[in-house]
Amino acid sequence: MNQKQPILETKDLELEFSGVKAADGMNVQVYENEFLAVIGPNGSGKTTLLNLCTGYLRPTAGSIHLDGRDITGLMPRAITRLGVARAFQIPQLFSSHRVIDNIMLALAAHDGLWTMVRPLETAARREQAEELLRLVGLFDDRNHISRALPEGHRKLLDVAVALALKPRLLLLDEPTSGVSALERFPLMEALMKALRQQQITALFVEHDMDVVARYANRVLVCSAGSIMVSGSPGEVFKDERVLQNVVGVA
Ligand SMILES: Nc1ncnc2c1ncn2[C@@H]1O[C@H](COP(=O)(O)OP(=O)(O)OP(=O)(O)O)[C@@H](O)[C@H]1O
Ligand SMILES: [Mg+2]
């Protein structure tokens, strides 16, 4: 797998927040069709990595490459247009709107037809939205108000909103955080099924080591703003540094 050019590559990324190096020589490669986990203690730079790769933050040094093209410093919207979407630690939803409206809004934004004069709901858009909701297993929730959904379903809705942007690469920040232990595996199954069906590569930040061991094909271990260890879940969970600094404290 590793002989190919990565879809996404960061080279020596650095970012400092008032004396704290949130990224300190962050080097990451993401290859096609990977489901790549990023783990690490609180404050080790995982969310910062996602923010840098999606243009929400600018590195003070280093570069970011998508299919070999330098995208450092591009605006988030430009990066999304190049096929990188993002799901959030806390779902970014229109909570008082119906589930299906959230998807139709995302589809409208992607179409670029988001103006006051055009109706949001068209037959074609409704159909596409229903298709996406079926894909993540939320079709039966389509007319519910988003706020009323259990957290696991809100996370999946946030994923479906990201999928409406038709990404090749999806970056997920803690897809299972705030989700009850019972809901976690079903959520991950629904997520994996959707990604496989759409052939989307994904990188996900995760604190639940059972989820990482079960679903990731490769794991990056973040520590103090850089990648300390990378390998298969089996390799990484045997590493003494990981056992002491991450697994023990997660
Ligand atoms: N906007 C910001 N302003 C100032 N400091 C920040 C900002 N964002 C992150 N930091 C700091 O940068 C470091 C890395 O934070 P980051 O959010 O990337 O960690 P994380 O690995 O995602 O942690 P968690 O597991 O708690 O989500 C931390 O020390 C954090 O306090
Ligand atoms: Mg974080």
Q: How far is the CA of 43 from the centre of ligand 1 (A)?
A: 5
Strand runs labelled E in the chain:
8-17, 20-30, 35-39, 61-66, 69-70, 84-87, 169-173, 201-205, 218-223, 226-231
Question: What gap in Å lies between CA 2 and CA 245, rounded to an integer?
Answer: 27
Q: Whose CA is nearest to atom 15 of ligand 1?
A: 43
**Distance of CA 28 from the midpoint of ligand 1 (Å):** 18
Please give all residues whose beta carbon lies within 6 A of any atom in ligand 1, as ranges: 17, 20, 22, 40, 42-48
pLDDT for residue 16: 95
Query: Mutate which of 17, 171, 228 to test ligand 1's pocket (most atoms within 8 Å of Cβ)?
Result: 17
Q: Whose CA is nearest to atom 28 of ligand 1?
A: 43
Q: Which helix (H) or strand (E) holds 118?
A: none
CA–CA separation, 31 vs 1, rounded Å? 7
Q: If you compute the radius of gyration of the chain from its CA atoms, what whole number of angstroms results?
A: 18
pLDDT tens figures, 211-246: 999 999 999 999 999 999 999 999 999 999 998 888
Cα 15 to middle of ligand 1, angstroms: 11
Confidence of residue 114 (pLDDT cuts 50, 70, 90): low
pLDDT tens per residue, range 171-195: 999 999 989 999 999 999 999 999 9
Statement: residue 115 has pLDDT above 70 = no
Residue of 42, 56, 223 to test ligand 1 pocket, by largest number of atoms within 8 Å of CB: 42
- What domains, with CATH codes, occur in the chain? 1-83+167-250 (3.40.50.300), 93-164 (no CATH)
Query: CB of 94 within 8 A of CB of 146?
Result: yes
Each residue's pLDDT tens digit, 135-145: 999 999 999 99
